[in-house]
Amino acid sequence: MLIRPYGDTRDDGVIQFSFTLPMPYSVKAADVGKQFLEKLGFHTVGIAECRAMDPEYTFFVAYARTDVGIDPDEVKGDYLEVEEMDFAAINALIKERLGRKLGVVGAAIESDAHTVGIDAIMNMKGFAGNYGLERYPEMDALNMGSQIPCAQLLRTALERDADAILVSQIVTQKNIHVQHLTQLIELLEAEGVRERFVLVVGGPRINNAFAKELGYDAGFGPRTTPLEVASFLAQEVVRRHEEA
């Protein structure tokens, strides 16, 4: 079933907008804003605010309606469906079915210096009240921190014979993260070791579908908890181990 935005009345299609046009404010500025939104396909445009921000720019706040709808059932994607387990169950799974510690190496790579995200997943104290991977007795987790070159990350993962590599990418401006993430994949492939690792990426602008596209095994977005990641890693590593 098609649905449309719900403002005041179901299906009214109301959307709120704000934007800046690089033009001086004038008596007709509001009409420019209105006709612009009409050109974009909206109707019943109400310009709520239209104000000179500066002699060269005009700021707009508007409400308008669309007749376009979307059917949520037709939106299909590569969503990660992890069966979330608890701390004890994860450790038990690794112990019983893998039979050794699960090795994890993580880092914020290349120019990215944001560690709070990867720390939240890996460090002892964890995040949102649940422990980080370092606390799992059945994991051997190393958080390398920030600005780690891809080559160094790989070297460490190989040295430690890790099962999984966790990468954090927070800065996404000018798609710098795509560049870094691709660089890592290419390195792994060039070295012929891509298949040796469960490769995971996370960050506020990451999702699973995007991660898959880039060649990663999974992607985690904002508000990820260590438990989700640990559940995924344990299940995936055990699965691969048993398949092999």
Residues forming contacts to other proteins in the complex (CB under 8 A) are 6-10, 14, 16, 18-20, 30, 34, 45-51, 53-57, 59, 61-63, 111-113, 115-116, 119, 128, 145-147, 171, 173-174, 176, 204-207, 221-223
Q: Cβ of residue 108: shortest distance to ligand B12, in angstroms?
A: 7
13 binds ligand B12 (CB under 6 A): no
Q: Cβ of residue 178: shortest distance to other proteins, in angstroms?
A: 12
- Please say whether the beta carbons of 137 and 100 come within 8 A: no
From the list 228, 231, 237, the residue with the least C-alpha distance to 120 is: 228
Binder of ligand B12 out of 115, 123, 208, 231 (CB under 6 A): 115
From the list 22, 32, 20, the residue with the least C-alpha distance to 55 is: 22
Decide which of ligand B12, other proteins, a second copy, none touches 27; Cβ closer than 5 to 8 Å per partner kind.
Answer: a second copy
Q: What is the DSSP letter of 101?
A: P
Nearer to a second copy, 17 or 131 (CB): 17
Q: Which of 34, 95, 125, 212 is catalytic?
A: 125
- Please say whether the beta carbons of 184 and 46 come within 8 A: no
Angle between helices 176-190 and 150-159 (to 10 degrees): 40
Nearer to ligand B12, 37 or 211 (CB): 211
Nearer to a second copy, 51 or 155 (CB): 51
Could you please report the per-residue DSSP string of 208-234? HHHHHHHT-SEEE-TT--HHHHHHHHH
Task: Tell me how far apart the alpha carbons of residues 47 and 226 are, in angstroms, rounded to a whole number.
Answer: 45
- Please say whether the beta carbons of 23 and 53 come within 8 A: no
List contacts with a second copy (CB under 8 A): 3, 5-7, 10, 14-23, 27-28, 30-32, 35-36, 39-41, 46, 57, 66, 68, 70, 72, 75, 77, 79-81, 205, 207, 209
Q: Cβ of residue 38: shortest distance to a second copy, in angstroms?
A: 9
- Please say whether the beta carbons of 64 and 30 come within 8 A: no
Q: Cβ of residue 148: shortest distance to ligand B12, in angstroms?
A: 12
How many helices and strands, by DSSP H and E, does the chain display?
7, 8
Task: Tell me how far apart the alpha carbons of residues 215 and 32 are, in angstroms, rounded to a whole number.
Answer: 44
Decide which of ligand B12, a second copy, other proteins, none touches 118; Cβ closer than 5 to 8 Å per partner kind.
Answer: ligand B12
Q: Cβ of residue 224: shortest distance to other proteins, in angstroms?
A: 9
The region, left, alpha or beta by phi > 0 then psi within -120 to 50, assigned to residue 156 is alpha
- Known catalytic membership, residue 101: no
Residues labelled catalytic: 125
Which residues of the chain form contacts with ligand B12 (CB under 6 A)? Answer: 106, 111-118, 120-121, 127, 146, 166-168, 170-173, 200, 202-204, 220, 222-224, 229
